[in-house]
Amino acid sequence: MPHDPLPSHARRRTARALGAVVVGGLALAGCTAAGDAPDATGVPEQTTPAPVPEPAGPGTGVQLFQWTWASIGRECGEFLGPAGYDWVLTSPPQEHVLGEPWWTAYQPVSYRLESRLGTRDEFAAMVAACDEAGVAVVADAVINHMTGQDEPGVGWAGSPYEHYEYPGLYSDAEGDFHHCGLAAGDDIAQYRSAGQVQQCELVNLADLATGTDRVRERIGAYLADLVSLGVAGFRIDAAKHMPAEDVGAVLAGLPEDVWAFQEVIGATEEPIRPEDYLPNGLVTDFFYGRELAALVGGGSLDRVLEYPQSSTALPSEQAVVFVENHDTERNGSTLSYKDDADYLQAVVMLLAADYGTPVVYSGYAFRTRDAGPVQDPDGAVQDVRCAAAPPAWGEAPQDPPGTWLCQHRWTPVAGLVGWRAEVGAAPVTDLWVGRRAVAFGRGDRGFVVVNGNAAAMAETLTTSLPPGTYCDVVSGALVDGACTGEELTVADDGTVEVALDGDSALALHAGARADG
């Protein structure tokens, strides 16, 4: 698909970052252009970092799972924009079945923009607020199926429906649904059968005949409606359960500046592969999240950097990667907030490495797999209030079920989001590998160290950073010219003395200097 993968919001953010670098460079007394000759002592003079290389993808995203539209709009201005997030992924915005579980949002009744997360007007106001903050809105689009309810009912906005009848939208009599006849009850029974995966029903969900013009036109109208409200992109839910050409046909109707990423859950020995969907645009890399969990848990942190050379990796500019999402934190296939220090180390590696478009996940505490967010007596999700102080590094929150965790605000997470915005597409440099530890830079823009040992570590490490005093953005931010966390000094020869507690990390970048 020939769409520009970088939303206008992200391009504006990159331009602002470049401007900040130039201003910062002018403020540094005695700075010389990169590559100047050494002074009389033989030590190169302090240099100004090169401009931030633009990433190939759409920047860093955050999934605010089951957040209301009002809450997202407020968060864009209060935190997401200032912290450096480029886009926010919302939960599905269409009318859905009634019920408390989180998955009710993934059972569409109609394409009306009325849900327990807010009204159409509230959705539009959210998009406008996020746009003002420089944060693009990406909507989770459920277009593979409708409901999985055998009994007739009414949706959130009062629309009547039956399993295969959605008045004014889809009808079984018009051939709008698949009835595969390949397995009992038409449900997928064998994932090694491409026909079953893409023609049968996923857990009884009425499977749309996305190969027909009639169905494609209705899906296209729904997406166009969201675009008319300012939506910049889409996550295509359950893309694996639609032929790649069907997804491509729908996406081809989007405007040139609208982008999408496709949810394709890769698995070995299955005929449907994530790479089949690359001609349509960006694709999720679920292998990465599983591998990240294994490597961090096993202490092989440096091998995370080798993942792009693995057989399951996608082209970096088309891969969407994450530590966890709403499905994997519940099925245990990846790490989650319950995994203490391993979880935060994985987030650091996700954001510090140079593979893919990263998505930070932000959800709520839960104990049962189906548990939904906190709702009022009428079933509407309550607005989000984040805790005033995030948990300490490595301490899994022990909050009651339904408590909003706001992982995207945790100091190490937000610090690495800003770090990634600062380093851009700078290459990995200055790699150091220790026992269950790794350190590496991204050119002269940033440097990160992760200690996966239970014991503390002390090392003298080589960086490509200009000499000076830097804030460790894992422990705190640069506020009014002072570090709220630890300070580290990069010597004239580029080395830095690192002392790290066990199971912790630090990160320095050119935009968080306490001396300039």
pLDDT tens for the 516 residues of the chain, in order:
433 444 433 433 433 332 232 222 222 222 333 333 334 434 344 456 667 777 667 999 999 999 999 999 999 999 999 999 999 999 999 999 999 999 999 999 999 999 999 999 999 999 999 999 999 999 999 999 999 999 999 999 999 999 999 999 999 999 999 999 999 999 999 999 999 999 999 999 999 999 999 999 999 999 999 999 999 999 999 999 999 999 999 999 999 999 999 999 999 999 999 999 999 999 999 999 999 999 999 999 999 999 999 999 999 999 999 999 999 999 999 999 999 999 999 999 999 999 999 999 999 999 999 999 999 999 999 999 998 888 888 888 888 999 999 999 999 999 999 999 999 999 999 999 999 999 999 999 999 999 999 999 999 999 999 999 999 999 999 999 999 999 999 999 999 999 999 999 999 999 999 987
Same domain, 488 and 417: no
Please return the burial class of 485, using the count of CB atoms within 10 Å of its CB with bins 0-12, 13-18 and 19+. Answer: middle
Q: The tokens of 250 are what? A: 């729908």
For residue 263, indicate whether it is catalytic. Answer: yes
Backbone angles phi, psi at 395, to 5 degrees: -105, 105
Q: Are residues 355 and 446 in the same domain?
A: no
Asked if residue 456 and residue 384 are part of one domain, the reply reads no
> Which residues are within 8 A (CB) of 273 and not within 5 positions of it... i.e. 6 or more apart?
264, 266
Write the CATH number for 438: 2.60.40.1180
Count CB neighbours of 12 within 10 A. 14
Could you say which DSSP state residue 459 is in? Answer: E
Q: Tell me: do 368 and 270 sit in the same domain.
A: yes
Q: How many CB atoms lie within 10 A of CB 315?
A: 14
Task: Among 396, 421, 446, give the residue marking a domain's end.
Answer: 421
Token pair belonging to 4: 């520009």
Give residue 34's pLDDT. Answer: 35
- Would you say residue 233 lies in a domain? yes
Does residue 416 lie in a domain region?
yes
- The pairing of beta strand 61-64 with beta strand 165-166: unpaired
The answer as to whether 36 is a domain residue is: no
CA 403 to chain centre: 21
**Strand runs (DSSP E) across 52-159, as ranges?**
61-64, 87-90, 136-141, 153-154
Any domain includes 27: no
pLDDT of residue 500: 97
**Measured over all CA atoms, what is the biggest interatomic distance in the chain, rounded to whole angstroms?**
85
Query: Which of 114, 237, 444, 472 is the catalytic position?
Result: 237
Asked whether the beta carbons of 229 and 223 are under 8 A apart, the reply is no
Is 516 a member of any domain? no
Would the pTM of this model clear 0.85, i.e. be above it? yes
Whether residue 149 contacts residue 236, with contact meaning beta carbons closer than 8 Å, is answered with no
313, 275 Cβ separation under 8 angstroms: no
DSSP state of 361: E
Burial label, 225 (beta-carbon count in 10 A; 0-12, 13-18, 19+)? middle
Contact 408, 364 (CB under 8 A): no
Task: Give the active site residue among 95, 263, 342, 472.
Answer: 263
Q: Which of 421, 447, 481 is at the close of a domain?
A: 421
Q: Residue 152's Cα: distance from chain center in Å?
A: 36
Q: Which residues of 131-170 are buried (b: 16+ CB within 10 A; e: fewer)?
A: bebbbbbbbbbbbbbbbbbeeebebbbebebbbbbbeebb
Residue 441, SS3 per DSSP: strand
Please give the pLDDT value at position 41. 38
Instruction: State which residues form the domain around 448.
Output: 426-509
Phi, psi dihedrals of residue 215, rounded to the nearest 5°? -65, -45
Asked whether 288 and 319 are in contact (CB, 8 A), the reply is yes
For the chain, what is the domain count? 2
Q: Are residues 96 and 236 in the same domain?
A: yes
Residue 427 CA to its chain's centroid (Å) = 21
Kindly report the CA angle at 486 between 484 and 488, in degrees rounded to 5? 130
H helix count then E strand count, the chain = 11, 22
220 and 350 share one domain: yes
In a domain, 41, yes or no: no
Query: How many of the other CB atoms lie within 10 Å of CB of 376?
Result: 9
Asked whether residue 378 falls in the same domain as residue 394, the answer is yes
- How far apart, in whole angstroms, are the C-alpha atoms of residue 423 and residue 136? 20
Instruction: Mark whether 417 and 451 lie in a shared domain.
Output: no
Domain boundary (421, 445, 478) is at 421
Q: Is residue 192 part of a domain?
A: no
In this structure, the answer to whether residues 384 and 297 fall within a common structural domain is yes
d(CA 18, CA 226): 31
pLDDT value at position 5?
A: 40
- Nearest Cα to 469, choosing from 483, 480, 454, 452? 483
Nearest to 145 by CA among 93, 207, 201: 207
342 and 251 in one domain? yes
- CATH number of the domain at 329, please: 3.20.20.80
The reply to whether 116 falls in a domain is yes
Which residue type sits at 387? A
The residues with which 94 forms a beta bridge, in sequence order, are: none
Type and span of the H or E element at 131:
helix 120-132
In Å, how far are 9, 254, 266, 280, 312 from 275, measured between CA atoms? 28, 21, 9, 10, 9
Neighbour-count burial of 352, counting CB atoms closer than 10 A to its CB (0-12 exposed, 13-18 middle, 19+ buried): buried
Query: Tokens in use for 405?
Result: 């965790």
| Amino acid found at 285 | D
Q: Mark whether 478 and 432 lie in a shared domain.
A: yes
C-alpha dist (Å) from residue 120 to 40, 71, 153: 67, 14, 22
Residue 403 shares a structural domain with residue 477: no
- For residue 57, the one-letter residue type is G
